[in-house]
């Protein structure tokens, strides 16, 4: 039995909690937002500018979910106009190491995965 299977059995939820969290952090934008916020506080417009291809709506939804999950903190400053800054929480900062490791793995193994795709796609199925 793998370690993953043991964890699922211990929790007694068939892996739902693990899948739920992995679904959230493995979406299209979450890890990019986390990586961009690593080591700094940023305003919404700066995040929007620094994450290529993300829309205002998707950035808003992603930040809300990260805040709900306790991975991002949101600070509102009582100024005119109001200023809002986002930063990783202590828990959010613990995600950076695994995220970077996964990104490095993806870069390292991308050529062989692409070769595998080509070989698979060229076969009769």
Tens-digit pLDDT profile for residues 28-61: 899 999 999 999 999 999 999 999 999 999 999 9
Say which CATH number the domain at 47 has: 1.10.10.10
pTM, two decimal places: 0.79
For the chain, the domain total comes to 1
Query: Which range is most confident: 3-7, 22-26, 52-56?
Result: 52-56
The parent domain of residue 111 ranges over 3-122
What tokens does 100 get? 């970077």
Angle CA 6–71–68, to nearest 5: 95
């Amino acid at each position: 039995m793998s370690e993953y299977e043991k964890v699922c059995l211990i929790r007694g939820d068939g892996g739902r909690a693990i899948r739920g969290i992995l679904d959230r952090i493995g979406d299209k934008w979450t890890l990019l937002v986390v990586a961009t916020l690593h080591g700094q506080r940023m305003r919404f417009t700066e995040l929007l500018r620094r994450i290529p291809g993300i829309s205002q709506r998707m950035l808003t939804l992603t930040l809300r979910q990260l805040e709900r999950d306790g991975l991002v903190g949101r600070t509102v400053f009582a100024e005119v106009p109001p200023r809002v800054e986002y930063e990783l929480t202590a828990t959010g900062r613990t995600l950076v190491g695994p995220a970077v490791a996964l990104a490095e793995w993806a870069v390292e193994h991308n050529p062989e995965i692409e070769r595998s795709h080509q070989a698979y796609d060229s076969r009769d199925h």
